[in-house]
Structure 1
């Protein structure tokens, strides 16, 4: 894999830390700003909404820029809004910084996915995307627990300062490693052509499944800290380790997908999806048992990211004729789920069903994904990783 791909993963690490770190900060943040826990959880949904809007919009707006310039612009904006978030005392301003930061994050990730796909052979997109998404898993292992630990020692604002500081070396590394002449070459006419290419049934089914699976992941992960402390009875000092365990699982899942998803995507999605559904049901039933809860945090992190990263790769294969907007629409679909999941989990908690209801909502979302995939197969719609297989299709597209 090219060195520049790992440089992009460093920036994704900083952004993934920001996106996920509220899972360990929500109780303190809610108390400090005088809002409810579901309202604090809505900050995660706000970030996801910004990602949904920004994923298709930002790459199109930056289409005429060289990719390095576009990546730098998005990352600098991301850094600056975290500085604002670290000093504000207003929930409304914090909410706005989450949205703006998400717009920048979405633009960066969409351009980075397109750049990663161009850096490797046509039949290695799953490996390339797994390296990029690996930045998110490292964020879950290191960045999110570190953010939770900083929050416990110096307050939640210190976690935002930490993200801003980590973004600085990523900016320097992009300047030094990403080619300046690599264009994001979708002119206005090309953008229209790409939009037309994004209407294929295989891509639409893949995006729907990605939204549902990611919604399930974010639904429970957003409320993992109160689940661990209030339901499982785990001490608050152990929350960073619980979050790190989820991150270890996510790293294992992405690594598995990177090795298997290019060749056997259907098998991975089918078996992984069924196991993911069973795992969320088991988590809901056994959440009060601290040992079972800890084991299931690892298992569900692995399954969620194995299935989720496979769907990202399948979206890139399906959007081979839309290299710029394909990554944007994949990012948008995932963040539709990331917005919907915490909102549904917060609604269930706010309705008095307790924190245990979050994994039940996650199970429902995965069940809907399995039902949608089964319906697509029964009705003859194209499925992710169709019969010809992604490597074969990619090679055909590359020869055209």
Structure 2
């Protein structure tokens, strides 16, 4: 079996950022700042190697990473650029193991790019996988927790050089302590967690999701460059994915009301979107990520399926912290990876976990898609 490896270009990173924004379901943070950091690092002569999980020996030590906190804070509290490498070195110190590769703990939003920046700083490759297939607001809402991996030791680092090492008895406690530490350290921190052998990752990680995000971003860009509808490019890319193959437009309209606040380390609120000319209304509730979409009170999409709000002309995703009154948008839904729709997964990251009305019904069933 051959194992492919590729070096990502700056255009690839731009496409990846666009795709990650969509897969974030509104969350994971705006990729713009992360993209600029990567652009600067590539300009200094760095390189990003993307490898397949199968190319790693089973005993390789792999570190997922990302950021924890409210996206509204991360948009204003800029990173120093040193957080990720400091956390990586602390992990190697306390485990007495060298990290062999990194990857995003979630493929959504800015967090989908976090591992690329760490790869540039450390010289390590990025593995084409993640732990969520989207973004979720809480760190235990990850396939590694669902399948029995331990989050600890977790390493938090901030822009000032502070470092917190967390060891907990369970993964929910890790989320709570990490969230509290992130709030104390200013509301946004880099986090390395769920580190494990490549053998465990081969059993549990969601493969190919970086390639999926690249394909989504490239499909939107190529359609625009060729004078085609960028939404057609988006849906072609989604249909080509084994994870997100059921997708469609849920609503088309203008944002007429927006409620958003930072609460307990999360950005929470709702967006109200009216159809052009009046009539129908879609309401989207979010907790960092968009969680539920109701059309005139009837549920049309529900977590863990992806609900993203896109500019209706460019098909660029608008993350929750960038939503504004008056934006003209299309709301797009896509199926979550099948691993997230099992009964075992839904108990951790389905509607009940957010106190939303259930039970979960797939986006295809709710909208009559075949």
Normalised to the residue count of structure 2, the TM-score between the two structures is 0.26
Higher relative contact order (CA 8 A, sep 6+): 1
The structure richer in strand per residue is: 2
Q: Which has the higher helix share?
A: 1
Tell me the TM-score normalized by structure 1: 0.25
